[in-house]
Amino acid sequence: MPRPITAGVLTIIGGFFILLGGVIFALLGAVFAIFGVVSGIFLLGLLAGLLTIIMGFLMIVAPSGHTVWGVLAIVLAIVSLPVSFGGLVVGFLLTLIGGVLAVRWKRPAQPWIDGEGRRISPPAEK
């Protein structure tokens, strides 16, 4: 079964960078917590990184939803900008490229087989 492997791998790698940026952002939140400023927004970077990695795995495991996974990866890449420094910018770019590749991916055409077992070419796409 054909799968958007490149899109999934790029999204997973980008998700790890976003997760790393989220860890840095969470540590920054811990420093602010020492001074009395407590907020849960610093944990959103970790959530964005984990969800991005999940989207990458779903692109590979469930390729029938490649468009949905790609759009969600693009949205998570944009969300990562303010909540995890864009995954140190590298994660943002890798996830964005992986999401676009997943949206643009097309399943290869399967050859048609008629009732007599002969192969007939698939119709030309318009």
Based on the structure, what is the number of domains in the chain? 1
Token pair listed for 49: 């990184």
Q: Which domain holds residue 14?
A: 5-106
Token pair listed for 14: 């980008």
Per-residue pLDDT, 20 = 94
Q: Answer whether residue 121 is part of any domain.
A: no
Per-residue pLDDT, 119 = 61
Q: Answer whether residue 113 is part of any domain.
A: no
Q: Answer whether residue 37 is part of any domain.
A: yes
Q: Answer whether residue 71 is part of any domain.
A: yes
> What is the full per-residue pLDDT of the chain (126 aa) written as tens digits?
789 999 999 999 999 999 999 999 889 888 888 888 888 788 898 999 999 999 999 999 999 999 999 999 999 999 999 988 888 899 999 999 999 999 999 988 766 665 565 666 667 776
Closest CA to 70 of 80, 58, 81: 58
Per-residue pLDDT, 81 = 92
The answer to pTM > 0.75 is yes
Per-residue pLDDT, 52 = 96
Closest CA to 73 of 106, 102, 45: 102
Residue 113: in which H helix or E strand, if any? strand 112-113
Q: Answer whether residue 55 is part of any domain.
A: yes
Q: Answer whether residue 119 is part of any domain.
A: no
Greatest Cα-to-Cα distance within the chain, rounded to the nearest angstrom: 78
